[in-house]
Chains A and B, each alone.
Chain A
Amino acid sequence: DTEVTQTPKHLVMGMTNKKSLKCEQHMGHRAMYWYKQKAKKPPELMFVYSYEKLSINESVPSRFSPECPNSSLLNLHLHALQPEDSALYLCASSPPGKNRGTTEAFFGQGTRLTVV
């Protein structure tokens, strides 16, 4: 299994809603990431989890709350979002950085989020 699976594929939510994005991989990768991608822009890093611990938070507003319940799962909890948060949210994973021979980043297909 060499896939990163994201659900849902599409999500429409109101500004008062609470929703969660889910990401799953079974490649034994210990680094997982959330990216946000706006139209015609490259993906922007939001969070990095390394060995289930949050290692990087790129000054993301608190209305986005990541969670890594185990080494295969990564969630992004959403609450009180704004219309400008509408974007493609991508999850990615990579093997432990110390292993030079297998360093690859795998992306999921993304969740297209629309905030109304």
Chain B
Amino acid sequence: QKEVEQDPGPLSVPEGAIVSLNCTYSNSAFQYFMWYRQYSRKGPELLMYTYSSGNKEDGRFTAQVDKSSKYISLFIRDSQPSDSATYLCAMAGYNFNKFYFGSGTKLNVKP
């Protein structure tokens, strides 16, 4: 079983839609949950991260962690064409020396 599972997509939505991206994981030791956005031919950039369970909101982006279900989500409200990218979830244990990425979900927001 993989440490982190993420649907590769692609996910295609119209501009203005609410996007839901998800990951599941198997390692209950994970404490940090991150979302990265990667544009074509660029390195992944950190979008948001949360520690342990709960929600975190930043502008149009909301990250949710449900540790009981080992499930994390990233919601994008009022999606824009500029949001078109690959979104990778990543997770790490408490000491953060090593973190695991999901396979990435490719998102396409159509004008």
Contacts and interface: CB of A to CB of B under 8 A. Distances in A.
Contacts of A82: none
B102 A42 contact: yes
A14 interface: no
A97 B101 contact: no
A104 B49 contact: yes
A98 B49 CA distance: 16
Interface in B27-57: 32, 34, 36, 41-46, 49, 51
Nearest to B99: A105
A43 B44 contact: yes
Interface stretch (B14-22, B67-75, B90-98): B90-98
A55 B96 CA distance: 12
B97 A105 contact: no
A107 B36 CA distance: 10
Contact of A50 (B42, B49, B97): B97
Contact of B96 (A31, A106, A108): A31
Interface of B: 32, 34, 36, 41-46, 49, 51, 88, 90, 94-99, 101-104
Interface of A: 31, 37, 41-43, 45, 48, 50, 55-56, 88, 90, 94, 97-98, 100, 103-110, 112
22 contacts: A37-B43, A42-B88, A42-B102, A42-B103, A43-B101, A48-B97, A50-B97, A55-B97, A56-B98, A90-B43, A97-B94, A97-B97, A98-B95, A103-B32, A103-B49, A103-B96, A104-B46, A105-B46, A105-B96, A107-B45, A109-B43, A112-B41
